[in-house]
Amino acid sequence: MPEHYAFVATPIFAPSAALQTFAEGCTARNWGVFVAGDKKSPPDFALAGATYLAADADLPFRFSALCPFNHYGRKNIGYLAAIAEGADVIVESDDDNIPYDSFFAPRSRVVEATAVQETGWVNVYSRFTEKKIWPRGLPLAEVARPRPDWSAFPTAIVDAPIQQGLADVNPDVDALYRLIEATEVSFDAAPPIALGHGAWSPFNSQNTTWWRDAFPLLYLPFHCSFRMTDIWRSFVAQRLAWTCGWSVLYHRATVWQDRNAHDLMRDFADEVPGYLHNQAIRETLDALPLKSGPENLLPNLANAYAALVGKGWISEAELPLVEAWCLDVEALLSRAAV
């Protein structure tokens, strides 16, 4: 039986040409399309083929009653709706990314890739280009590290239920890169890399695929800076993925970004918590005593966020949201398993 795909986005503007392209491509292939609205979204928002989840929609989730407005984390509502509709695979992006045809190609969570473990931080962009560029969220102390010898790593068959696709033209980089370098990049079509236990890299929410087993890890936190919500999610997700023996895969670009207007100094300010704390967050997550197996992902998720709250990086107001998320996801996945 073929897997059921769902696409999730959370725009605050009228449907962009990019979002319309995503919706057309998805509906042509019988993918579900779920768009999570916010109070800033146009009241007449309409996208052919999509399920639009308006800010005032009455939804059957504990989380929706608590979910804050005016935040990118509203995307969590879209994830829950996709899970409730029976998605086996969730693919997410944003309304300023334009898909290549390859975006809609069949995907597999079991992949042959360059397998990297126990290396600490990895600049995954260096696998796909020789240009000096690094992903948003990579600690600045790592930027000057020499490129790894990728040929020294083995090729292996890996189980990767979380997969990050790159974006051409305007890749996901931090404000410092944009302020200093300001160069466009299109990545090479290099073979994918899979980061396993002890190999760390940030990943974003702009071109990311999640299989059902990893759905508990989709959660985007609210009570941190806007530019860190998907980055800190990625650190939690990869740490918990290792408890299941999973890798996180990074693969060639299947979208290109026509970036929405940004205030780069505001982006910089929002990224300062990451510049200051991402190394310490990694060390804290590394040290957590977590239980093994997919059945423990939700309690492990709660423990991970409790640890980040305990260190003061995320506000205590996050914890009721995490609890509601865990209850909803547990109920939805249990219902689907019956």
- The more confident residue out of 96 and 265 is 265
Mean pLDDT along residues 47-73: 94
Average pLDDT over residues 160-173: 96
Q: What is residue 12's predicted lDDT score, i.e. its pLDDT?
A: 84
pLDDT of 92-138, one tens digit each?
Answer: 999 889 999 999 999 999 999 999 999 999 999 999 999 999 999 99
**Per-residue pLDDT at 289 exceeds 80:** yes
Q: Is the predicted pLDDT of residue 338 greater than 60, yes or no?
A: no
Section 288-317 average pLDDT = 98
Give the sign of the dihedral formed by CA 292, CA 298, CA 304, CA 310: negative
Determine the pLDDT at residue 1: 65
Confidence of residue 291 (pLDDT cuts 50, 70, 90): very high
Torsion of CA 225, 228, 230, 234, to 10 degrees: -140
Q: What is the pLDDT of residues 194-208, one digit of tens each?
A: 999 999 999 999 999
pLDDT, position 262: 81
18-26 contacts, C-beta under 8 A, 24 or more apart:
18/95, 18/96, 18/97, 18/98, 18/99, 18/258, 19/47, 19/95, 20/47, 20/48, 21/98, 21/99, 22/93, 22/99, 23/47, 23/48, 23/49, 23/50, 24/48, 24/49, 25/99, 25/103, 25/104, 26/104
pTM of the predicted model as reported, rounded to 2 decimal places: 0.97
